[in-house]
Amino acid sequence: MTRLLPALTDTPDRPALRFGDRALTYGELAGAASPLAGRIAGAGRVAVWATPTLETAVGVVAALLAGAAAVPVNPKSGDRELGHIVRDSAPDAVLAAPDAELPPALAGLPRIDIDVPASAGPVDAASLPVEPTDPEAPAFVVYTSGTTGPPKGAVLPRRAVSSTLDALQDAWRWTADDTLVHGLPLFHVHGLILGVIGPLRRGGEVRHLGRFSTEGVTRELSTGATMLFGVPTMYHRIAEALPTDPELAKALSSARLLVSGSAALPVHDHERISSATGQRVVERYGMTETLMNTSVRADGEPRPGTVGVPLPGVELRLAEDDGVTEVTGAGPEAVGEIQVRGPNLFLHYLNRPDATEAAFAPGGWFRTGDVAVRDADGYVRIIGRKATDLIKSGGYKIGAGEIENALLEHPAVKEAAVTGAPDPDLGEQVVAWIVPADAAHPPTQEDLANHVAARLSPHKRPRTVHYLEALPRNDMGKILKRSLTPNG
């Protein structure tokens, strides 16, 4: 495996990318990315200011061509989060759209503008940069939250990217004739690796909505798009809109494949969508560290409430609480932590050998922390997760500890605990429990939300704040999060 994206030179006239009214064929993409790759040749890692734009896609393709690991950065990252990512990943440069204003945390890095000329290319194969031949060479460093501390950078090798995308080709019958539409952010695996590099590896087209809307989905699926990717919040919003939006129902009915992932899609939303459109949403299950593990197959039996079966090449087992004994049998009693092994796995967490070691069980099994059961025919049902301090909100993974630390830096906060609460739209929402420094003058909810958004990211902000006189603690002083219920 050398070329990750053979269509760059094999099918130069076919459409590759469309963001709003700007589009590139494969030839034009090669023409824009190839000189940029030349400019970053020799770099170990490059940060990519990952706005939902054509420039981000071109920048990432250039990094892949140059053999530099791309570190996609959330352009809404607050100063604390961004400072950590820049220090930890130590990129050689930052790639950004020419009109992007970069915050001070990135000011110390050489900036390379991602120029997308109105017409460039095609480029013949011999003139493209020589990509790394080592399948273990890092392709991406993607930051992901843990229960405590700042986010960890998962180092993803080229073979993880190619193997996961090729397994999805098989599971979803994904071809160059597919046009994918989505409005996912481009700084996570879902929107970037699956949602941009996925179609480019197949030689098909991706149309990005800039931001998700049911109108955008309707427009693109009515004008040639064949596949939709989204997080459950997006499918929930679709399900809510369907009863009063016949055009949306018609557009979805015409799609070849609707895929949901990043969190569980409630059965109720599955049912509302299938009764209004005749389509079954296909769920797949993955993780930043493992890329994709399982999926309902396009040619398989849809089974709402499950994430399907292991993808080709992925080994999956359920492990007992000791983390090593395999759970045998099937059915609701055979519960265990999902552990996976295969070419889809990351290499390690950047600068965190301790966390990398803790993430693996003997034999190279990666501990996902997700708890599941299996149907007799192997379909996996995720029923929970081991860590209560991880929250999935809108498909984003959010660590409670990271938000607690940020809240404790607010001068009006004496003590803080963070939990997740069920939310019909976001799946879970971030809830903060605060002991104010001065009970007579507690900080407002808006103040605390802005404080967290400015330091970490807007999606990590608490959506609900409860004020307490003291946090419930056990004799050891540990916060009893299970006692933190609105009526408790």
Residues that bind ligand AMP (CB under 6 A): 144, 189, 261-264, 283, 285-288, 307, 368, 370, 382, 385, 392, 397
Please state, in angstroms and rounded to a whole number, the distance separating the CA atoms of residues 122 and 482.
59
Nearest approach in angstroms of CB 290 to ligand AMP is 8
The CB-of-193 to ligand MCA minimum distance in angstroms stands at 8
The number of residues in the chain equals 488
The site string for ligand MCA over 64-83 (x = CB under 6 A, - otherwise) reads: ------------x-------
CB of 451 to ligand MCA, least distance (A): 9
CA angle 144-146-147, nearest 5°?
A: 155
Q: Which of 179, 194, 145, 186 is nearest to 257 (CA)?
A: 179
159 binds ligand MCA (CB under 6 A): no
Burial group, residue 14, by CB count within 10 angstroms (0-12, 13-18, 19+): middle
Instruction: Identify which of residues 59 and 395 has a Cβ nearer to ligand MCA in the complex.
Output: 395
Closest approach of Cβ 152 to ligand AMP, in Å?
10
> Residue 459 touches which of ligand MCA, ligand AMP, none (CB < 5 to 8 A by kind)?
ligand MCA
Cα angle for residues 395, 398, 399 (degrees, 5° grid) = 155
Whichever of 30 and 189 has its CB closer to ligand MCA, that residue is 189
Cα diameter, the chain: 71
Binding residue for ligand MCA (CB under 6 A) from 185, 203, 310, 399? Answer: 185
Residue from 189, 225, 282, 417 binding ligand MCA (CB under 6 A): 189
Q: Is residue 191 involved in binding ligand MCA (CB under 6 A)? A: yes
Does position 233 interact with ligand MCA (CB under 6 A)? The reply is yes
Smallest distance, ligand AMP to C-beta of residue 386, A: 10
Rounded Cα gap, residues 463 and 429, in angstroms: 6
| Closest by Cα among 105, 112, 68, 58 to 86 | 105
What CA–CA distance (Å, rounded) separates 64 from 90?
18
259 binds, among ligand AMP, ligand MCA, none (CB under 5 to 8 A by kind): none
- Give the residue with the Cβ less far from ligand MCA, 349 or 396: 396
Is 287 a residue that touches ligand MCA (CB under 6 A)?
Answer: yes
Report d(CA 26, CA 2) in Å as an integer: 18
Name 373's bridge partners.
381
Question: Which value, in Å, is the radius of gyration of the alpha carbons in the chain?
Answer: 22
Q: DSSP labels for 381-409?
A: EEEEES-TTEEEETTEEEEHHHHHHHHHT
- Give the angle subtended at the CA of 74 by the CAs of 73 and 77, to the nearest 5°: 110
CB of residue 395 to ligand AMP, shortest distance in Å: 8
- Judged by CB, which is closer to ligand AMP: 163, or 262? 262
482: partner contacted, choices ligand AMP, ligand MCA, none (Cβ within 5-8 A by kind): none
Q: Which residue, judged by CB position, is nearest to ligand MCA in the bound state?
A: 394
Residue 25 or 393: which CB sits closer to ligand MCA? Answer: 393
**Could you give the 3-state DSSP secondary structure of residue 443?**
coil
According to CB under 6 A, which residues from 247 to 266 bind ligand MCA?
261-262
Residue 264 interface partner, choices ligand MCA, ligand AMP, none, CB cut-off 5-8 Å depending on type: ligand AMP
Q: Among 449, 465, 471, 484, which residue interacts with ligand MCA (rule: CB under 6 A)?
A: 449
Q: How far is CA 187 from CA 142, 231, 428, in A?
A: 7, 14, 21
Q: Which of 231, 391, 407, 448 binds ligand MCA (CB under 6 A)?
A: 231
Closer Cβ to ligand MCA, 32 or 165, answer by number = 165
Closer CB to ligand MCA, 73 or 109, in the complex: 73
86: Cβ–Cβ under 8 A, 6 or more apart, which residues? 47, 105, 106, 108, 109
Kindly identify the residues of this chain, within the stretch 364-403, that bind ligand MCA according to CB under 6 A: 394-396
- What is the Cα–Cα distance from 296 to 290, expressed in whole angstroms? 17
Is the separation of the CB atoms in 2 and 31 below 8 Å? no
* Chain residues that interact with ligand MCA, rule: CB under 6 A: 76, 184-185, 188-191, 211-212, 231, 233-234, 261-262, 286-288, 394-396, 449-450, 453, 458-459, 461
